[in-house]
Every structure is written in structure tokens, then in C-alpha cells.
Structure 1
Amino acid sequence: MASQPILLFDGDCGFCSRTIEIARRAIQPRVQFVPWQFADLAALGVTEDRADREVVWISRASGKVYGGPRALSAVLMCGRRRWWWLGLVLRLPPVNWMARGIYQVVAKNRHRLPGGTATCSLPAHMRGNPDR
């Protein structure tokens, strides 16, 4: 399990947490889902700003780091076989261009989506958690 890739997500966001639970059940990817708030970001080579802005995929085998829709593509590609093709399509132009735009709209409006709260729209440093 230590060599499994990691997907960092916003553990303070209800929409993000709910989406991760759905992915665990439906896609069953071989990945560790870690709320970025509980990760050693410096050791993973990820800034707090990036982790707060987008989901981040970290390959422990290759050291590659992907964010946003490319990270979601990686999750799909390491899941159950039937999801692999969708992950591949998500990487190809023009689908990846559209995916980037859609991802940005969803990320900026996640507080308005089911499970989202007003907290989701705040930058991490404004969420009132003194431990960060």
C-alpha cells in the first residue's frame, strides 16, 4: 500500500468528500485518498495553495504529480477495467481542453453543489482552523 499513488482532496469540502466516496465504491481505484489537510504536503512536493485549488495525484513510483482533470484521469485509469478507457479519453484533445474548463467551473462553485458548504468557497487560511 505504501507504493500506491495518492490523491489529495479537500477534506473540508462536503462535495469533494462525497465525490471521493462515490469513486471508492464505483471505480474502486488502487489509490490512497488523503485529505490534503492531513498530508505532509512538503514531503509530497505540493503547496497548500495547489492542494486547496485542485485534486492532486502523486505517483510514488514515478514521482509525477498531476492536478485537476489529469488527476481524475489517473484515478479512472487505475480503477476497475471498465473505467480505464474513460480515463484515457479524458487525456486526449479536445476532451482534455473541455475537461479543464469544466473542472475549473466545478472547483470554483463546489460550495453551491450538493454536499458543498460556504466553507468550501473559502481559501484554506480563512477557514478558521488554527492547526494549519
Structure 2
Amino acid sequence: MSTTMTLPISLPSLTPCEALADVVHRAVTGIDTPNKPLFVSAFTPDAVFDVAGTVVEGRDAVTAYVYDRIAQLDTTHLFTNLRVSLENGAATGTVTAMALGQHFRVGEGNAGGSARQFMTGVLYYVDCVRG
């Protein structure tokens, strides 16, 4: 029996605000599962990703810089305090969120106290465009 669950990219009944929050959830769940199509679905072709002053431009470059490096690890990202700003009928909006991420070497995520981990905490600012 397979333990891999198929995750849909599109969820049919989201409100516009929930759809913006889902952009963040798709990117992070794509990394943690690892599910590259789910991760990629969160970015426009001209996406810009700024990590502590390192700016990566374009969906393919973001995927190489973020997904290809992190999805190979055992990771868990927890998001909270999501705030969505979206004017009625607007094509663009913003999401802010706080996150904690645990990163372990491949196969060490369930090793318990003996595994070395890298814990991060970050505040995300996300500009979204309705697709």
C-alpha cells in the first residue's frame, strides 16, 4: 500500500481570500511532500523571490533556487498568522504569514534527538495575482 497521497493543485470552492492563502500553502506543501507541480503552481512565470536580499527572478529560477535545494531534505513548514488583503473584485492582493521550518538531512527527519536539524523562522510577504 502506498503512503503517498495525491494532492490536487486546484481546490474548487475557495473564496477569493482563501485562494490567496492557498498560494502560500501550495508552495510550502509542495516542498514538504515533495510535489514539484504543486510548488510550481504557486508562482507566475515572472515571479520574484527575495530571500534575505538574494533576489531570484522567474518561476524556473525560483524553482531551482528553492524547490530543488529544499525539497530533497526532510522538511516540515508550519505557517500561522496568515493575513490576506484583497479588495473586492481586485486582481491582486497580498498575504503575510509567519513560519517555522524544520530541515533535516534526507532520511533523518524521524531519527529523534540524534538528528541534526536546521530550524528557521521567517515572516513572509507575498504579492499575489489572480490567475
**More RCO (CA 8 Å, sep 6+):** 1
TM range (shorter): under 0.3
Larger Rg: 2
**Richer in strand (by share):** 2
Q: TM-score, normalised by structure 1?
A: 0.27
Q: TM-score, normalised by structure 2?
A: 0.27
